[in-house]
Amino acid sequence: MNRFSIADCSSVDAALSQLKDGAVVKAGGVDLLDRMKDGIEQPTRLVNIRNISGLRGIRETEQGLTIGPLTTLAEISDHPLIQSQYQILADASGHAATPHIRNMATVGGNLLQRVQCWYYRSSDFQCIRKGKDLCFAFDGLNQYHAIMEYATCPSVAPSSAAVALLGLNASVELSSAKRGKRNLGIRDLYVVPDANPTKFTVIEPDELLTAIVIPKPAPGTRSAYQKYGEKESFDWAIADAGVVLEMDGDVCRRAVITMGAASPVVRRSPQAEAALTGKSINEETARAAGKVAVEGAQPLSGNAYKLDLFPVAVYRTILLAAGQRDRDPSAAG
């Protein structure tokens, strides 16, 4: 890891004042140190926000929940209110990485982690996401890569928290010393590689993620998240699904189906949502929704298996959300 100086900040204003001249924000540090140890990035200046107490914690408000970006994944998954009313977020936070990483990793860092494509993560490969003009995954090893929306780069969205937060229609608050605050939906936080391959999020160098806001779910809402991986623990998803169902008795009034490891940026599946809307949730409708979730997908040379795995992930997670099935023992985490 390269040498760096670090500004240890005790307030948001202090941190914002330090966000200049290429300084990089460090929170839990898990993904940043990983990239630095692998030589993908060599920032010479870090801004340590880890000790800013105002950026940590879960607060219930009239409108729903406000979560400080420094709240750890373990704190979120263990929170009684999140477990009871925001199950999708408890599931996603509680099954990312390992127990020890969840004790260290912040939800903000989980949202802003870089893609896990092994070409991007290797300093031996100078790819399009690093400002060069080549993608190695299209003709190379791509079994963990995207099956849709990948014209420029087929790396997949790595954040399981994002799959949950998109399902909950959450927004993030970004703060800057000069321009004040702005709020964005989860999907708008990310830059699709087709638009700009070297920019992963819309966060400007002088901006800090300062809050995650989740609206209160409508009465009768049920939700769940499950991920499938090659390993039971630690690994990122090869397929994952977030499901939020607004139920009116037996009928699904509104469904939100989200997918992470299918595309470069976390996405909703309008086809799967339409397949459930106005219907009762059962084995048949859940399977139908899973099937259409991969409609239009175009697998790469090594990942056609995802065309089978995603429908299963979506279908089983719909039934889990509806309370008609236990957590899948073959799901990861």
Partner 1 sequence: MPDPKGSHPQAPDEQPEPSTLPDSARSGITRRGFLKGAGLTAAGTALLDGVQAFSSETAAPATNGVTELGPGPVPVRLHVNGAEHTVEIEPRTTLAEALRINLGMTGTKVVCDRGVCSGCTVWLDKMPVNSCMTLAIDAVGHHVTTIEGLSSEDRMHPLQAAFVKHDAMQCGFCTPGMVMSCAALLERNPHPSEHDIRHAVSGNLCRCGTYPKIFAATMDVAGTTRNA
Q: Nearest-5° angle of CA 295, CA 300, CA 306? A: 55
Q: Is residue 4 within the footprint of partner 1 (CB under 8 A)?
A: yes
H/E run at residue 313: helix 306-321
Contact 52, 9 (CB under 8 A): yes
Q: Cα Rg for the chain, rounded, in angstroms?
A: 19
Helix axes 160-167, 87-94, angle to 10 degrees: 180
Q: Return the ∠ at Cα 237 (arms to 320 and 43), rounded to 5°.
A: 135
Which of 3, 21, 131, 329 lies at the binding interface for partner 1 (CB under 8 A)? 3
* 10 counts as binding partner 1 under rule CB under 8 A: yes
For position 183 contacting partner 1 by CB under 8 A, the verdict is no
Q: Which of 19, 23, 25, 46 binds partner 1 (CB under 8 A)?
A: 46
Choose the stretch contacting partner 1; rule: CB under 8 A; options: 54-62, 230-238, 252-260, 275-283: 230-238
Place of tokens 């494509």: 117
If one asks whether residue 177 binds partner 1 (CB under 8 A), the answer comes out as no
- Here the tokens at position 318 are 């719909």
Of 44-52, 54-62, 107-115, 272-280, the window that binds partner 1 (rule: CB under 8 A) is 44-52
Reported as type and span, the H/E element at residue 222 is: strand 221-228
Does 18 interact with partner 1 (rule: CB under 8 A)?
A: yes
Q: For partner 1, what does the binding mask look like between residues 50 and 69, x meaning CB under 8 A?
A: xx------------------
223 belongs to the binding site for partner 1 (CB under 8 A): no
- Contact set with partner 1 (CB under 8 A): 1-11, 13-14, 17-18, 26, 29-30, 33-34, 36-39, 42, 44, 46, 48, 50-51, 97-101, 103-104, 123, 232-234, 333
